[in-house]
Amino acid sequence: PAPAPPAPDAPALDLVGEAEEPAVVAPMPDGAVMASPGPSGGLAGRRAAAAVLDHGLLLAIDLVVVYFTLRIAGIEVDQARALPVVPLVTFLVLVKLAYFAVFTACGGQTIGKMAQGIQVVTTDLRSPEMSLGVMRSTAAVASVLSLGLAYLPALVAGDGRAVHDRLAGTRVVSVRP
């Protein structure tokens, strides 16, 4: 039997021609791939802008968590030092790690990367699995703790990969045509 036609008030989904463009890549001599810089001035600037957006969002989440923690504990804002620092900071760091790991594993894009049109992929252009998302996020903490020195290879190496990309076997590519 033929499928029943949709109800008259049901929205019609016409997905033909709405496929996403694949990552824009160019072959390199060693068989690796490198993202095309795209119209907005290269991946380094777009990665930095994505990081600013992501960390701004995470800072807002931190402030909301601290505010509601104070409210639930019945502590005034000027008495915030009464909160136990180690558990609170540990929780906030774990939220950040989870944000980056889960978004990386579920499509390769954090909210900042979505806004900038870039995506994390494996070196063979597949979506990273959760283990790679966790590894990349954990290694990025070391990159931050090194005062940004671990990001230098992304700026000077020909493949544009930072230390955490190299450790996790990932790279960032442009998804804009």
What is the predicted pLDDT for the residue at 9? 58
- What residues contact 105, with CB distance under 8 A and at least 6 apart? 127, 128, 129, 130, 132, 133, 134
pLDDT in tens, 31-44: 333 444 333 347 88
What is the predicted pLDDT for the residue at 133? 92
Q: Which of 20-24, 37-41, 46-50 has the highest mean pLDDT?
A: 46-50
pLDDT in tens, 3-21: 555 555 544 444 343 333 4
What is the predicted pLDDT for the residue at 177? 58
CA distance 76 to 122: 47
CA-to-CA separations, 96 to 60, 104, 152, in angstroms, rounded: 12, 12, 22
| Banded pLDDT at 151 (limits 50, 70, 90) | confident
CA distance 28 to 57: 35
Whether the full predicted model's pTM is greater than 0.85, yes or no, is: no
What is the predicted pLDDT for the residue at 21? 41
Whether 175 contacts 164, CB under 8 Å: no
Ramachandran class of 156: left when φ > 0, alpha when ψ lies in -120 to 50, beta otherwise: alpha
Element (H, E) at 158: none
Q: Which residue has the tokens 């694949």?
A: 22
Residue 162 has pLDDT above 60, yes or no: yes
Whether 109 contacts 103, CB under 8 Å: yes
| Banded pLDDT at 121 (limits 50, 70, 90) | very high
**68 or 142, which is more confident?**
68
What is the predicted pLDDT for the residue at 43? 84
